Each structure stands twice: as C-alpha cells, then as structure tokens.
Structure 1
C-alpha cells in the first residue's frame, strides 16, 4: 500500500478513542494489513470500564462554554458548583490555567501540584495546540481517579478564561460523567523464529482522529513487519499495536501481564511512538538503553532521507510513552518519538498534519534496523 493511501485510510476511520466505533474499525483494518504482510495476526480483546463524559461546562456572566472532563479526575453533581475564578495556586475556589498538553508530564508542574494538593474545589484549564480545539490530557489514573473536578476547555478560550480569572469572576462549574463497560483490542502479529524475539510496539488509539500523532508509528510498524516477513532471519518477531494509550497504556500493560517475557526478555523492543512524520515538526527523539543503538538508528534515518539536524539521539535517560513500560520491566528498547503542533487536537488530520516524505523515511529506516536485529 502506498503511504498516502495508508494515511488517508487511517484518517477515514475518524475518532479512535479506546472503545469507540473508529477504534474497532481501525483495529480490524490493521489486523488485515498484518496478515497481508505475512504474519499470523489476531485481535486480542480487552474489556475495561471507560469513563463516559457527561455535561462539562463553565457558566460565567451569562456565557456557557462547553468542554470535556478530565477522565481521571473528580466530578460534580448535575447542578455543578459555584465559586470564583482565579489563577492556579491562588485562594480562588476554581483554579484556572492555560497550558500545552505536553506540560502535564513535566515534574511538579502547577496543574499537577494543584490536583495532588486539592488546593481548589475545581480546576479549569484551556489546552493550547494549533487549531484551538480541545486537546485532552491523557488519563493515566483512569482506574484510580483523584483530585478535584477538572474542566478541559478549547485553547481558543484561553485568553477569555485567564482574563476572567484575573478579575475573580463568579462562575458555575459542571463536570459530570459515569463509568460504563467497554471493549477494545490489541493487535498481535507474529512471525516464526528463534528466541528471544524482536518486538515491534506501537500504540494505536487516541483522543481524536490523531492522524499524525499515531499513523506514522503504525506505518513504520507495518513496513517493518512486511520487511521482516520477506527477509532471512533467525529471530521470531512479535508485533504489538496496543489500545488504550490515552487511558494509562491500558493495552500495553495488558499485553505484558499476559506475556511478561516480551517486555523483560526480548532481544529488543522497538517502540514506535507519537508524531512520526508530523508536518511543521521535524524534531525526533531517538532513545535507547542499549549503548550505540540510538546513533545507529539516527544513521539509518539519515540514509533513508530524514534530515540529520533535528534528530536527537540519546542513550539512557527516562523513556516516554509505552517505552516506559519496557524500561520499568527491565527490558531493552529503542524508542522514536516526534513533535506535533496539533498534539491531542481535533485538527490533527490528513493531509494537513502529515509530512509524507519524512514519515516514509522513518518507516524505511525502522524496517532496515529491524531486519538487521532479527538476522
């Protein structure tokens, strides 16, 4: 399949939030692609208790603005709660902030501190990415929600929100939702060979359509699997495309609970993370806890046509995304993660957000390294 058609097909499934119709359709499509590549592939079902968002609004001076609850935070009753707005860390009942979704992962950021310390009865955040839509924060603690109710607003409302917070404006905050029953699936594909296996790992679900965020990694996953199926190799290959990225790495954790040796004892786990081949964002972090491997991956990327300067090759340090699941289980990993000005935003769509030549270069380079390691 041509890369452009691949991205168009992926985008066509629409929103791929874990447990959604788009998630299920994309999973069946990816299983079929893995089978066409020559692997034995199956969908491994995972049942979970999703948070089903209800009305989530801020009413200030007659204006009602809609948002999304934080999926692992507190909730209000249907009538909401009343208080004054103020900056996070102030004495106001409702703490307000503008932030980029990536800032939520920074150690001891003001938002995280406010949640843990419950300084406010409620929190309102405007999440700023390109396009101005709602860019939700990942719900790492979906199974153990904590803290006050948090309303996530579109970035386009950031100036309005912070101006009102500066004035101490009175407001009504509603953050509601309930638990339901849901099902998603990991795609597990396998090629025969000796142990220990090479593992290809990529997350496949997200908040919205998320074409540049997720599809570049999935393209590299498919291309590497196809190249490995066609090449002589001594190692077995296990390829995992996992669900639940946005709700605490649900699928990856489930996969490694079922098969712990895949994380801890594989020859290598190649983690194909977010934003591989995103437009207007060439920065690419290549990280490994294997000495020399990040540099080797950088060389393969440059040989495949990726610009050299924006590649940051790092040995050691903190692994991010699903690579963290490998690191904390004592496994060997090689991880690729890029940048994205539309990160977590509804406007991350084909073709606007995709740099096709870079996405193809990354896929070709990953396939080359995978074949070398599996020889």
Structure 2
C-alpha cells in the first residue's frame, strides 16, 4: 500500500518530513491538513517548552531540505510549569490559568477574603475578582485590563482573578510583557463558565484560596531563520510566530501552514530578491522573540523589498451558538484582518477578494496593527503587510484541530502566493 501524504508527515524522524522534501509538492487541502496535524501533534507551544522546540526543529529540517540555510538565534524567556493552579472556596474548587509572567503563591496557596473589584471601597488583603466585559481577549496590556488591575493594587488587593468573559465561556490566557510590573501580586484567570459560585462567595465576603504553584524562571528559546541568498542586495521577508498558549492549532497552525507553503513556492522561483523566513518564538511575551530578531538580525528597511507577517488566525473555523451548544460551521471566522502598506494594498486586495475578513485590507499603520507587525511597522519598513485576528477559541485550551482544517487554510495560502507573485513581478 502506498503511504499517504498525511501519514508520512505524521511519522517519526526523517520519514515525517517526506511531504516537505519534493521540489514541487501538491499544496492541496490534504497537504495543508497534514501540516496542521503535525503542528498540533507537538502539544502545548509555550515559549521554550518541548512543543515549541520540537516545532522549531521540524521546520529547520524541512527548510534545510528545500535548500534554505537555517540558523537558530537563542534568547531567554520566562516559563512556568504548573503543579497546581486553582481557586477554591469551602466545598468547591475550579482550575485557573496563572497569568504570565507568573507570581506564584507557593503550594500552600493564598488564603484571603474574596471581593468583587467593582466600586471604590478598600480591597486591602483580599483576592479581587475582576469580571471583564464580553470580548475576545488576547493581551494583558489591553487598556481596560491594565486600568482594572492598577485600581485593584492601589486599593490594597493581595491577588487578582480575572474572569475573561468571551464567546465560549472558556478561560482565555493573556499575552504579557516578560517582566512583572512593580508591586504586582499573583494574578490568575478564571473561566466564566466556572465563575458563578465564586462571585456569590465574594458577594457574601467568604474566604477563598488561590493556589499557583509550580516551577518557573527563565529558559532558553530560539527564533529560526531560513535564508536563500541570491546576492540580490534586497530581501523579501516572511515571518510567522510559532509559539503560543496551549495547542493553538488554529491561531498558530494556520499561519505555519501558509508560511511553509510560501517557503516551497519561493524556493522554486528565481525572483531577483534574497528570501528570508523567520519562525518566531516568544510571541506570548508581547513579541519578545520578534523584538530580538528586529534588533539583531533582520535586514534593514532600506534592504527590504517587502515584509509579510503571517500572523494569527489566518483560517480558523467559525461557529454558531445554537440550541445552547457551540456548533461548527464549514466556513472561516471573519474576525481576521489584513493590513497592507499603500504600495502593495491593491495586490493584496485583489488576491484576497472574497475571503471574509481579509477582503478589505486596512492601511498598515501602528495604530491599526497587532502582534509582531506593530514592531515591524514601528521599525520603519516601508513595504509591509500582515495578518492577525482572534477566532472564537483564541487563547483557549480548546484551540485544537476542531478549530481549523486544511480546506479552510488552502485558499488563504493560494491567495498569499497570488499577492506575492503580483508584487514581485512589478
């Protein structure tokens, strides 16, 4: 029996790279699905953790086989391996997500009165419960979150628990800077689906116990660069984050698949540009790895013809809330965005016509942007484009292969190649 493309990619060792070895693979639905499955198979992708490092090694070998010269560029990043993360009241306990970078309580936990954070009264010595309004939350640097946390610390709270009200009722992990602000106490995230008894307990002034215990500190991580040097003096750069919270199959996997397909396509062409690909770690720490790459390794703006940042949620599944259940839909979530600088906006607009959420590119400005693309634009790259968005299970434990498929990703992949072909020929 002839092995399938998917089976080869999911295999161990060099056999697992077989679909990435041909010079002209068929970049169809099945190929994109196999890349998604390979990415998801590595489990959680926290920066510098086993999953993140394994994905980096997989991509390194795959791109080397395509003729790229690969390098790892290391840096240090925070980490926290959880032993216990719970919020408890008498007779009831719920899991929480320790907010990174983690301020641990130790295994004994923190016992303190629960208090609802709204209002103006004292929170001295309490665990403040902060119920956020409904939104697809992504970053602890959101202005509302920063205001609520600063207020809780100013009123004397010993710890804070954020209830990330959102589209699924899941707890949503939040990106954050690599260093805690002065005076910050332990912070955890509680799922809205689990919050009711703790809100009742806080209204009654009951005591709760927040336990955030585990091992943490700093650990090594790396960005992976892959280059085709054609002595052109000007480069086309394609970047994509590869780390993230939990499995991040749709958030990260869709971008990895589109980026890897573009790597195949660019390797086959003979455009008069050097090609530089970078798979970035450290995304969850407010683009830590991307900052390292920009500062030390990226070709300067004057040497860059185009920079495309293949960011988050390029092709995540959409869902209905119907009959009290979340039901999958065959089409993509339209909460995804395309930004492009004026010189390439028409090319991207034509290529992505008919793609919900991507069909009307926004101007590529710092104010419009998110993720690593913000730093790219701040650094002054004149010709740039990028993608970002928050799908329904963004930053949730449930962002797994149910949230994405090769059939959703392949059209985006083809559209990106159409845009690049138009731009590079001009």
Aligned with 1:224 (options 248, 259, 262)? 262
Q: Which stretch has the larger CA shift, 2-11 or 147-156?
A: 147-156
In structure 2, what is the Cα distance between the partners aligned to 1:259 and 1:104?
Answer: 26
Taking structure 1 as reference, are residues 331 and 72 closer, same or farther at Cα in structure 2, changes over 3 Å only? Answer: same
Could you say which residue in structure 1 is the equivalent of 2:130? 97
Among candidates 57, 61, 69, match of residue 32 of structure 1: 61
Is 2:113 the counterpart of 1:83?
Answer: yes
Q: Distance in 1 between matches of 2:95 and 2:385?
A: 40
Question: Within 1, Cα distance between the matches of 2:227 and 2:76?
Answer: 23
Unaligned runs of 5+ residues in structure 2 are 1-18, 20-30, 319-332
Residue 177 (structure 2) pairs with residue 140 (structure 1): yes
Write the distance in 2 (CA, Å) between the matches of 1:284 and 1:169.
42
Q: Which runs of 5+ in 1 are unaligned?
A: none
238-247 or 137-146, which moves further after superposition? 137-146
Q: Which shows bigger deviation, 312-321 or 35-44? A: 35-44
Q: How do 1:121-140 residues align onto structure 2 when only pairs under 5 Å count?
A: 121-128=158-165, 132-140=169-177
Kindly indicate whether the alpha-carbon contact (under 8 Å) linking 1:273 and 1:337 is maintained by their aligned counterparts in 2.
yes
Partner residue in 2 for 1:346: 397
Contact 1:88 1:95 (C-alpha < 8 Å) held by counterparts: no
8 Å CA contact 1:227, 1:371 repeated in 2: no
Pairing 1:363–2:413 present:
yes
Q: Tell me how far apart the structure 2 counterparts of residues 145 and 263 of structure 1 sit (CA, whole Å).
A: 35
| Superposition deviation, residue 366 in structure 1 | 1.5
What residue in structure 1 maps to residue 337 of structure 2?
A: 285
Distance in 1 of aligned mates of 2:346 and 2:195: 40
Q: CA deviation at 1:138?
A: 1.0
- 1:59 corresponds to which residue? 88
1:278-308 residue CA offsets vs partner (Å, 9 max, x unmatched): 00012331112x2153342131023xxx535
Residue 146 of structure 1 and its aligned partner are, at CA, apart by 5.2
Against the structure 1 CA distance between its residues 121 and 295, is the aligned structure 2 distance closer, same or farther, given a 3 Å change threshold?
farther
Moved more, 256-265 or 267-276: 256-265
Distance 2:184 2:373 in 1: 27
**Gap change, CA 1:296 and 1:250, over 3 Å in 2:** same
With the length of structure 1 as denominator, give the TM-score of the two structures.
Answer: 0.88
Residue 318 of structure 1 is matched in structure 2 by 368
What SS is found at the alignment partner of 1:102?
A: coil
Corresponding position: 1:170 with 2:207: yes
- Partner Cα distance (1:310, 1:365) in 2: 10
Change (3 A) 1:33 1:373: farther
* Distance of 1:238 and 1:265 partners within structure 2: 12
Query: 1:269 — aligned with what?
Result: 307
Query: Structure 1 residues 130 and 30, CA, compared in 2 at 3 Å: closer, same or farther?
Result: farther
Q: 1:176 to 1:116 in 2, by over 3 A?
A: farther
Shift of 1:256: 1.6
2 CA distance for matches of 1:329 and 1:72?
26
Q: 2:148 aligns with which of 114, 118, 127?
A: 114
CA distance in 1 between counterparts of 2:147 and 2:312 reads 26
Q: Which runs of 4+ in 1 moved over 4 A?
A: 103-107, 128-133, 143-146, 262-265
8 Å contact from structure 1 (residues 16, 205) kept in 2: yes
In structure 2, the partner of 1:233 is 271
1:252 is aligned to: 290
Is 2:47–2:282's contact at 8 Å kept on the other side of the alignment?
yes
What's the Cα RMSD here?
2.6
- Partner of 1:211, secondary structure, is coil
Say how many residue pairs are matched: 369
- CA displacement at 1:128 relative to structure 2: 4.3
Normalised by the length of structure 2, the TM-score is: 0.78
Contact 2:352 2:415 in 1 (8 A): yes
